Chains A and B, each alone.
Chain A
Amino acid sequence: MAKIIYIEHNGTRHEVDVKTGLSVMEGAVKNNIPGIDGDCGGACACATCHVYVQPEWQAKLNPPEDLETSMLEFAENVQANSRLSCQIPVSDALDGLTVHMPESQH
């Protein structure tokens, strides 16, 4: 279990407990947090769960695999700290992880 903080593009903040083993995307979708769609259900096929990870957290996450990197290459509004949240598994070590959402997922 970890507390994950999701911040919408308009600044609205959502703080929810997410079970270990779920992804950061699933944590948002199951709590109906707007701005993370997860169209493909976590198959890394759609890039609709794009988030910006706060810099102090970047190094604590599993690094992106090639598939995620190449999906992100063509997503909109990509930054150096962009990740696909379906590829970030939640663990106790991520308690307090804060992610910001882009303006849109397309």
Chain B
Amino acid sequence: MTEQALGADARVVIIGAGHAGGSAVAFLRQFGFAGPIVLIGDEPTPPYQRPPLSKAWLKGEADAASLMLKPESFYVEQGIDLRLSSKAVAIDRAAKTVTLDSGTVAYDVLIIATGARARRLPLPGADLYGVLELRNAADAEKLKTAIGPGKRLAVVGGGYVGLEVAASARALGADAVVIERESRVLARVACPELSAFFQSYHGAKGVAFELDAGVEGFEGANGHITGVRLSGGRIVPCDAAVVGVGAVPNDELAAAAGLAIDNGIVVDGEARTSDPAIFAIGDVTRRPLPLYGRMHRLESVPNALEQAKQVASALTGRKQPAPEVPWFWSDQYDLKLQIAGIPFDADRIVVRGHVEAAKFAVFHLKGDRIVAVEAVNAPPEFMAGKLLIGQAKPIDIAKLSNDSVSMKEVAA
């Protein structure tokens, strides 16, 4: 549905200057909206890319300037009222204002892009120096100083962020031990085949694992962490610990304003909330996934960009972009992991390629249709899989399983 474009002098206010908020500004201008935009962020820096914080940036292969979504001059040239180090504390929907810690801003359209924060473990010792999380540039700075040669890093939580940090720590000469509550790494986000592969690959690179291991607390001396205490009492010694056990949406402002919330701000396919003057985008939203016929909260850059395009399209009267297949990526050592789709209701797994050669893909099927693919160093499988998920096209499983049949032919 194409909508009435926003009036030329309508004021758009965006809370949250992360990847979603920053991209919304860029697309609004690209799509021709020339009116006033206020971008409010609680960090001191303009919008930047977060994915490299656990990878290239942490390893010193990318500098801070290269992480910036746009150079600072962009915001000046485009007339963006950038309010950094500013925290939004309330939304008044009747008056259409946002209260900041430094004043009040009126809006015609509000976009909430407040993201998610690292889930914290309410455990004894969690406030010790050296108990870290990784969500923003300030966290990453602290982590970087903690993982030099000879240091030992405990990674609490064997998810993607944890494994990426472990890989970067090894690259920097630090020891790393991954502590995971479940019996396998990536338990929430990947299939057992992929978990086994990643654990074995990290093991070969010298990463240690503590699986089925609950954490009871953090041990310290002189205010500084010295170890992680597992349930049962055993202590894993370390110089620093990074806790990566998931993220929770920053939806409290929206909830307090009475918007519909369900583990995230509920939005429609144009990123509109239950208030027609308020949109929400990025990690903070629970959004429709038209290809899967359900609502879901996605934490990913492609999701932030897709919803930024949706809101910019809605506000400029542009045709909505076609729904995208959700996708994710992770780089660890020389492994390029690319994931497309989500394995909702999958009833079969097909492994294609050679796990031992670190070049393979795991396809998740529902009947004869691919619903997700996890590809390790296998871009054709990822790209073709993503295409086939979007088309919901039945495929020949015998061909898919046989890697001497090209993906071109599988997709034909």
Contact = CB atoms under 8 A, between A and B. Distances in A.
Contacts of B123: none
A84 B282 CA distance: 26
B407 A74 contact: yes
A87 to B, nearest CB: 12
B258 interface: no
Contacts of A45: 329, 336, 338
B331 A70 contact: no
B30 A73 contact: no
A41 interface: yes
Chain A interface SS verdict (over half)? loop
A32 B329 contact: no
B383 A73 contact: yes
Nearest to A21: B66
A106 B322 contact: yes
B331 A43 contact: yes
Interface in A36-57: 37, 39-41, 43-47
B36 to A, nearest CB: 17
A74 B383 contact: yes
Given A73-B408, A75-B383, A41 B51 contact: yes
Contacts of B70: 29-30, 32
Contact of B26 (A32, A46, A70): A32
Contacts of A75: 383
A70 B384 CA distance: 10
Contacts of B387: 74
A21 B182 CA distance: 43
B305 interface: yes
B380 A74 contact: yes
B29 interface: yes
A40 B329 contact: yes
Nearest to A41: B49
A71 interface: yes
Contacts of B411: 74
Contacts of B74: 30-32
Contact of A73 (B49, B78, B380): B380
A67 B379 contact: yes
A34 interface: yes
Contact of B324 (A34, A41, A70, A106): A106
Contacts of B41: none
B246 interface: no
A34 B26 CA distance: 9
A37 B193 CA distance: 33
Interface in A48-84: 67, 70-71, 73-75
B302 interface: yes
Interface of B: 26, 29-30, 49, 51-52, 66, 68-71, 74, 78, 301-302, 305, 322, 324, 327, 329, 331, 336, 338, 379-380, 383-384, 386-387, 407-408, 411
Given A29-B70, A41-B51, 11 more contacts: A30-B74, A32-B74, A39-B305, A41-B301, A43-B51, A46-B329, A47-B383, A73-B408, A74-B380, A74-B411, A106-B324
29 contacts: A26-B66, A29-B70, A30-B71, A30-B74, A32-B29, A32-B74, A34-B30, A37-B305, A39-B301, A40-B51, A40-B301, A40-B329, A41-B52, A43-B51, A43-B336, A45-B329, A45-B338, A47-B383, A67-B336, A67-B379, A70-B383, A73-B380, A74-B380, A74-B386, A74-B387, A74-B407, A74-B411, A75-B383, A106-B322
Interface of A: 26, 29-32, 34, 37, 39-41, 43-47, 67, 70-71, 73-75, 106
